[in-house]
Amino acid sequence: MYKKSVFNIATLSPYFATRELAQLVVRRAKQEKVPDISLKDIQSASRSFLDELYTLSQKNELRILDIPEHLMPIFNIIARSHRLGKTIAPVIKISRQKLVI
């Protein structure tokens, strides 16, 4: 008998993948008892979404498959951040002003 082994995020038809959506995806994957989550055909997924998915998939021993090429740079930074245990992100220099706007 066919047993589903992948939860494909595209089945939710998300237009936009936010951090909260990652939690929903992992909940659904656990409910359906599948070991893998597929990002096939995902047009957009932000750093927050991928970070949450990465964290929760590690916690729940789920594999993330089919990461689209255009999302790989963000995914690689997230994986590197977790490996190093620190956030890799832009540095923004701020100058504080006394003037009240």
Partner 1 sequence: MSPLPSLLQNVRHLFAMMRASGGSVDLRDLKWIYPLELLPLAALITEQNLPYQLPADEKCRGYLEYFHFPYGLTKYQRPSNNYMPIYQFPTGRDQQGLLVQSHIIGSLTNVIVQRIGAQSGVWDGLSTAIDEVVSNIQQHADSKAGWICAQHYPNKGYLDVCLLDTGISIPGSYRKHDIDIGNDVDAIQSAVRGLSVKNEEGIRGAGLRTIINMIRGFGGQVVLLSGAALLHATPSAKLYPSSVTWHGTVLGLRIPEQTKPFNYTQYLEGSVF
CB of 50 to partner 1, least distance (A): 10
**Which stretch, 1-9, 29-37, 93-101, contacts partner 1 (CB under 8 A)?**
93-101
- d(CA 94, CA 98) in angstroms, rounded, equals 13
Query: Residue 32 in contact with residue 7, Cβ under 8 Å?
Result: yes
Minimum gap (Å) between residue 35 Cβ and partner 1: 21
Among positions 37, 49, 57, 67, the unique one binding partner 1 when judged by CB under 8 A: 49
Among 1, 3, 61, 97, binds partner 1 (CB under 8 A): 97
Taking the CA atoms of residue 66, residue 72, residue 74 and residue 79 in that order, the dihedral angle to the nearest 10 degrees is: 80
Helices 19-31, 47-59: inter-axial angle, 10-degree rounding = 30
The one among 10, 17, 32, 57 contacting partner 1 by CB under 8 A: 17
Among 6, 36, 47, 66, binds partner 1 (CB under 8 A): 47
* Six token digits for residue 74: 């963000």
